[in-house]
Amino acid sequence: MPFVNVGEENSMPIELYYEDHGAGRPVVLIHGFPLSGRAWERQERALIADGHRVITYDRRGFGKSSQPSTGYDYDTFAADLHKLVTTLDLWDFDMAGHSMGGGEIARYLGTYGTQRVRKAAIVSGVPPYLLKTSQTPTGVPQEVFDEIEGALIHDRFAFFTEWNKNFYNTDKTLGKRVSAECVQDSWNQAVGASPAGTIACVPSWHTDFRADLPKIDIPVLVMHGTEDRVLPIEACGPRTHELIKGSEYVPVEGAPHGLCWTHAEEVNSELLRFFK
């Protein structure tokens, strides 16, 4: 299996698992919490059919990548992404990030620049700054992050059962836009992820990307589900759009946080159009 080495912890290497399929202009897809590169299944299929080379990878701690006890911050995530990009020697490529993956895009472009990248799409992403403060009144209160972290520590297996209900808005979509089997697979991926990593990711969700976003000088598509119960649309999508000059904003009507599955046709249509 293909891996990229991004460091080590004690006697163990830290390696990112990736897949590289298709031919044409490369598109790097960055998954959300608590899934893996497989979360892009429906987008990967459409992009390859449209003539793209598609690269997915598993964030450290998730999927088939190593599960170290450290490095669950956006400076490290961006460095991991940069190592993948440089190892594969990618140039003039496109990228899309869902949820936490939107943070990777913001920090990667804010830190390493846009010389290698042609276009970027942030899909229901965590930027610009999720924490509720006097400057960001539509954000999420600190107590919510504390409750999530506490629930993961107490019983992450039970937590992810509840998490998926809001990830997919199953009260509205189950049996219509998402199957019980798909929800179960998401649970399997979540509980198979690093226990330390899933907990450590929670504080990263309110990383401040407001200094990164104005540095981005390539075309950016910002999409967000209007019924996202995980990352409130009023705190994320439109605010990210405002901070990236010349970006395009597309709300996906009725979509939950897991819109890459439940609203795959709508997401695919916009990505194919944008990456033309």
Which positions are catalytic? 99, 228, 257
The region that residue 259 occupies, defined by phi over 0 for left and psi between -120 and 50 for alpha, beta otherwise, is alpha
Q: Which two tokens stand for residue 235?
A: 């705190």
Cα separation values, 247 from 121, 122, 239, Å = 10, 10, 11
∠ CA 249-72-1, nearest 5°, is 90
**Contact criterion met (CB below 8 Å) for 226 and 254:** yes
Cα separation of 190 and 100, whole Å? 14
Among candidate residues 121, 109, 122, 106, the one with its CA nearest the CA of residue 233: 122
Cα-based distances in Å from 79 to 14, 167, 210, 250: 13, 27, 19, 29
- The dihedral sign for the CA sequence 112, 113, 115, 116: positive
